[in-house]
Structures are given as structure tokens and as C-alpha cells.
Amino acid sequence: MKSPLLACLVLLSALSARAADAGAPVANVYIMELLTDFLTHNSDPARHEKFWADEIVYTSAMGVVRTKTDIMKNVHEAAAKPVAAGAKPGPVYSAEDINIRPYNGFAALTFRLVARNPDGTTDYYRNSGTLIFRDGRWQVITWQATKIPPAEKK
């Protein structure tokens, strides 16, 4: 009696693993869209709220560790400041060399961030993050940014 039950459990486990693997391309597409939307609308507090999980540990390129509370405070303060007449917009961000690797409810994300500044210069960063899928959505739980030195900006 226990043998058929055990066989069914093993079969269900194998099918679940295959289903998780089959969903990987969907995770990649969704995470790519999430990243692109976030970078495109980086000054929007709602985008930050959606992107960062409540327990995010964000380490900046300067080595400063921030929580979601810190991030949201900075974003809301920046959004509340009136734009001065003639002020140049901030940098325009995009991502290159994007690599997304889903792992059963988690995903590792690495990419090269391109920051095109209003003065015509461009800065580059290597970013990596860990995302978790819960409550029907992907959110970032860890983030690390490293500025690429000028000699390596190819």
C-alpha cells in the first residue's frame, strides 16, 4: 500500500521540478521587463516600491549599505523637490550584458548598468542582485553595485 503512494510522490516531485524548469523563460522575461521598467522610471517612488522587497540589503558603489526605508526616503525627497528652471535632467539608465538565472523561486541577476549623464559623459557599473518570487511577483532582496573604473569602460 505504501509503495504506490511513494511512487506517486516521486513522480509528482519530478514533474514539479520539470515544471519549475519550464517556467524559467517566463521568469527571465518578467525579470527583464521589471529591470527595464525600473531603470526607465528610476525617479518614480512607485517603481522603487515595486522593485525592492521590504528586507532589501542594498550596497552602493561607494560601499554604503541601505535598507528599503533609506531608499524610499531618498526617492520621495528627490521626487518632492521642485525642478529648477533650466535644470538638466538626471542620467538616463540602461542595462547591457544582462544575465538572469532562475532557481525555484529565486533568481540571480547580473548586468552592466550604463548611466548616460546630461553632460555627455557615460558611467558604467556592474550590478548584481538576488530576486525572490512571492505573493505573485518578483522583488529584489539583495543588490550590489560596483563602479567600473574609466580604463575599463569599453
Q: Would the pTM count as exceeding 0.75? A: yes
Bridge partners of 132, per DSSP, are: 106, 139
Residue 2 falls within a domain, yes or no? Answer: no
pLDDT band at 96 (very low <50, low <70, confident <90, very high): very high
Q: Does any domain span residue 92?
A: yes
Residues 107 and 138 sit within 8 Å (Cβ to Cβ): yes
Flag whether 4 is in a domain: no
Decide if 141 is inside a domain. yes
Instruction: Confirm whether 3 is domain-assigned.
Output: no
Instruction: Write out the three cell numbers for 32.
Output: 527583464
Predicted local distance difference test score (pLDDT) of residue 133: 96
State the Rg of the chain over Cα: 20
Query: Distance between CA atoms of 96 and 92, rounded to whole angstroms?
Result: 13
For residue 90, the model assigns a pLDDT of 87
The string of DSSP letters for 47-108 reads HHHHHEEEEEEEE-TTS-EE-HHHHHHHHHHHHHSPPPTTPPP--EEEEEEEEEEEETTEEE
Q: What is the CATH number of the domain that holds 65?
A: 3.10.450.50
Amino acid at 145: A
**Could you report the per-residue pLDDT of 35-58, keeping only the tens digit for each?**
999 999 999 999 999 999 999 999
Query: Could you tell me the pLDDT band of residue 129, with boundaries at 50, 70 and 90?
Result: very high
- 1 falls within a domain: no
Point out which residues pair with 147 in neighbouring strands.
125
Number of structural domains in the chain: 1
What are the grid coordinates assigned to 84, written together?
A: 529648477
Please tell me the total number of residues recorded for the chain in this structure.
154
Q: Which domain holds residue 123?
A: 9-152
Contacts of 43 (CB under 8 A, 6+ apart): 75, 78, 79, 90
At 91, the pLDDT band (50, 70, 90 cuts) reads very high
Tell me the pLDDT tens digit for each residue of 2-25: 555 444 344 444 434 444 444 555
